[in-house]
Chain A
Amino acid sequence: MLYFLQQLINGLTLGAMYGLIAIGYSMVYGIIGMINFAHGDIYMIGAFVTVIAFTTLGIVGITWMPLALMVVLLCAMLFTAAYGWTVERIAYRPLRGSFRLAPLISAIGMSIFLQNYVQVAQGANVKPLAPIITGGIQLGSDGSFSVGISYVQIMVIVLTTVLMAAFSFLIAKTPLGRAQRACEQDLKMAGLCGVNVDRTISTTFVLGAALAAVAGLMASLYYGVVDFFIGFLAGVKAFTAAVLGGIGSIPGAMLGGLLLGLIESFWSGYFSIEYKDVAAFGILVVVLIFLPTGLLGKPEIEKV
């Protein structure tokens, strides 16, 4: 039972991070119908900005943890959002209205470019981040096994919950969210209602990148290391989560992320850690066979 609880906590932490990245995939797919393969690398940029920002703050001498964390969070979100905006502006917008595969190829190119750029700029070595938030709460013990939740895990789960609530409010209640949903349904008609479609799409990329940056921050604190290649696997996993939950649906992305995190964590806990990715992708295959639109996705209606 204790072991189960521990895997649950680990799974939720992992799932929260996948979910935050998955939202970016899902939103972009919803609004312009493309898979932004560079999104995983945006997350990697977020992790790097976190490491750089923490190091800089350490040099400057700001070490009071809550303040440092807030500053780093803002830095990571802002810088990464700028990357997200730029990627859309130079790699996708010029291709809008061309054939469907063009932005997809461009996205793969952008992904490779970002990886190599970070490799050149930051070096290929794994970058460690000294543990910043240490300790945790012990929840129980039966002599041989003790179950606990670390402060990093608490931060991940709380921060994700807060962000999800704020984000759902943004989408449901503000003019920006309304414009995004309108663009999702009919880009041209949204334009005729006075919505600046290009700007709305840019904003979507910016928001997705900011959320991925938060996931990057969490990952670098949680694992303590980053390198230029972490975006690939995280991106594929988050994409899987988005598809599992129903691509285009934001609650779906979050749900898919959580499920994927839990599956991975329980699989590694009870079966074998080597095959956790096989398990995750195997379940994706099964879901897609029986529920092609994912768990919360809506069937695609052909527009005439």
Chain B
Amino acid sequence: MREQGGLEVTHLTMRFGGLVAVNDLSFSARGKEITAIIGPNGAGKTTVFNCLTGFYKPTVGELAFMGRDGRILLEQLDGFVIARHGLARTFQNIRLFPGMSVLENLLVAQHQPLMQASGFTLLGLFGARRYREAEKDAIELARQWLDRMELTHLADSPAGALPYGQQRKLEIARAMCTRPTMLCLDEPAAGLNPRETAELGILLKAIRDETGIGILLIEHDMGMVMGISDHIIVLDYGRKIADGTPLAVRSDPEVIKAYLGEEDDDELPPEIRAEISETAARA
């Protein structure tokens, strides 16, 4: 929690009328680590992200984040302030600015420093040096991420015209261009083919190792989750049922129960059961 990008969630509860989407959830995610949140559909994973990024005000709970300027409480802030403190996010269904060019998508992500340097646009209009330098830096950062994602040749195409896999990459690049201290990814591998998923796993590990930012990951692709995570949190019906290393989580009886049903449920044919455990072992 001391270092940048640390996140400490305590007693988070989110109710929608009678529905308890997240129930008394506490966990922490450290910087320089990949923390995965997994669980069956409807377990409340995306709700946690929505609370973190200011879309929902939690019913109860404290969300402490070590941002750029020290410790802040996310539940008290608006979304754009949270983003400025260094928490970036991507969505399960991609949300680019489809009508803007690929490069512009990355520049919007750097809106705050550019706006500041341009003195709320006025100085920028008169070509102040500070603004020109800030703009050069912004384009440089955007170019680095374009190169890295192999999107440079598409910089001027509208983002909405990109194929699905490249849109995913662009969304991560855009999140990184906000210079985050923690990156929240909501199912980044959804819709990717196995090769793209493997590349994504390598990329996320590289981001963790090179930049030292924390990554919070919601993902259903167990192969990837088990392969890259340092720490896994398992949710079921809004409650945390397990928390630990991939190895510990994988053999946790509660987790197996949540994913496969009751242990003594012998309706699953033995060969399928064997296949499942084999998959788990391979991952």
Task: Confirm or deny: B174 has a beta carbon within 8 angstroms of a beta carbon on chain A.
Answer: yes
Give the residues from 93 to 122 in chain B that come closer than 8 angstroms, CB to CB, to chain A: 93, 95-100, 104, 107-109, 111-112, 114-115, 118, 120-121
* CB-contacts of B64-107 with A (<8 A): 78-80, 83-84, 88-89, 91, 93, 95-100, 104, 107
- CA distance in complex: A193, B107 (Å): 10
A182:B88 contact, CB within 8 angstroms: no
Contact, CB under 8 Å: A192 / B88: yes
Q: Are A189 and B97 in contact (CB under 8 A)?
A: yes
The answer to whether B98 and A194 touch across the interface, beta carbons within 8 angstroms, is: no
**A197:B80 contact, CB within 8 angstroms:** yes
B277, chain A: closest CB distance, angstroms: 37
Q: Does A65 contact B (CB under 8 A)?
A: no
From B55, B100, B112, B114, give the contact of A182 (CB < 8 A): B100
- B167 adjacent to chain A (CB < 8 Å): no
Is B61 part of the binding interface, using a Cβ–Cβ cutoff of 8 Å? no
Q: Which of A170, A186, A190, A304 contacts B121 (CB 8 A)?
A: A170
Asked whether any CB of chain A lies closer than 8 Å to the CB of B178, the reply is: yes
The interface residues of chain A lying within 8 Å CB-to-CB of B54 are 191
Binary flags per residue of A174-201, CB closer than 8 Å to B gives 1, else 0: 1110110110011011111111110000
Which residues of chain B are near A174, meaning CB under 8 Å? 118, 121, 124-125
Does B53 belong to the interface (CB within 8 Å)? yes
Whether A193 lies near B120 (C-beta < 8 A) is no
Chain B residue at minimal CB-CB distance from A187: B79
Asked if B178 contacts A194 (CB within 8 A), the reply is yes
Q: Establish whether residues B109 and A193, one from each chain, have CB atoms under 8 Å apart when the complex forms.
A: yes
Distance of B82 from chain A, by nearest CB (Å): 8
Complex Cα spacing A112 to B251, Å: 69
- Least CB distance from B128 to A in Å reads 12
How far, in Å, is A169 (CB) from chain B's closest CB? 8
Contact indicator A175/B88 (Cβ below 8 Å): no
Q: Do A195 and B88 touch (CB < 8 A)?
A: no
Q: List B contacts of A192 (CB < 8 A).
A: 53, 79-80, 83, 88-89
Would you give the 0/1 interface string for B14-47, flagging 1 where the beta carbon is closer than 8 Å to chain A? 0000000000000000000000000000000000
Q: Which B residue sits closest to A303, measured CB to CB? A: B95
Query: What is the chain A residue whose CB lies nearest that of B117?
Result: A175
Nearest chain B CB to A29 CB, angstrom units:
15
| Min CB–CB distance A154 → chain B (angstroms) | 26
Q: Which of A170, A188, A192 has the most CB of B within 10 A?
A: A192
Shortest C-beta distance, A181 to chain B (Å), equals 6
The distance from the CB of B106 to the nearest CB of chain A, in whole angstroms, is: 10
- List B215-254 residues whose CB lies under 8 Å from chain A: none
Given contacts A188-B55, A194-B80, contact A175 B97 (CB under 8 A): no
In angstroms, Cα B114 to Cα A81, docked, is: 24
Q: Who on chain A is nearest to B80 by CB?
A: A191
Complex Cα gap A186–B120 (Å):
21
Measured between alpha carbons, how far is A191 from B53 in the docked complex, in Å? 10
For residue B115, which residue of chain A has the nearest CB?
A175
Give the residues in chain B near A178, CB-CB below 8 Å: 100, 104, 107-108, 111
CB distance from A177 to the nearest CB of B (A): 8
Query: When A170-B121, A174-B118, A182-B100 are in contact, do A195 and B111 touch as well, CB less than 8 Å?
Result: yes
Q: In the complex, which residues of chain B have a beta carbon less than 8 angstroms from the beta carbon of A194?
A: 80, 83-84, 109, 111-112, 178
Q: How far is the CB of A195 from chain B (nearest CB, A)?
A: 5
Minimum CB distance partner of A169 in chain B: B125
Partner of B80, one of A175, A195, A304: A195
Check B115–A179 contact: CB distance below 8 A. Answer: yes
Task: Please name the residue on chain B nearest to A174 by beta carbon.
Answer: B121
Roughly how many angstroms separate A170 CA and B118 CA in the complex, as a whole number? 13
Q: Out of B99, B108, B178, which one reaches A179, CB within 8 Å?
A: B108
CA distance in complex: A298, B112 (Å): 29
With A174-B121, A174-B125, A176-B120 in contact, is A189–B111 under 8 Å at CB?
A: no
Contacting residues, chain B, for A185 (C-beta < 8 A):
97-100
CB neighbours (8 Å) of B114 from chain A are: 175
Asked whether A191 lies within 8 Å of B78 as measured between CB atoms, the reply is yes
B95 to chain A, nearest CB (A): 5
Specify which of A176, A179, A193 is in contact with B83 (CB 8 Å cutoff): A193
- Bound form: Cα–Cα A191–B120 in Å: 17
A191 is contacted by which of B83, B104, B107 (Cβ under 8 Å)? B83
Known A191-B79, A196-B80; 7 more pairs at CB < 8 Å: A176-B120, A182-B97, A189-B91, A189-B95, A189-B97, A193-B111, A193-B174
Closest 5 CB pairs of A and B: A191-B79, A175-B114, A176-B121, A194-B83, A194-B112
Chain A residues engaging chain B, CB cutoff 8 angstroms: 170, 174-176, 178-179, 181-182, 185-186, 188-197, 298, 304
Residues of B in contact with A (beta carbons under 8 Å apart): 53-55, 78-80, 83-84, 88-89, 91, 93, 95-100, 104, 107-109, 111-112, 114-115, 118, 120-121, 124-125, 174, 178
Pull 6 A–B residue pairs with CB atoms less than 8 Å apart, ordered by A.
A174-B118, A178-B111, A182-B97, A191-B78, A194-B84, A194-B178
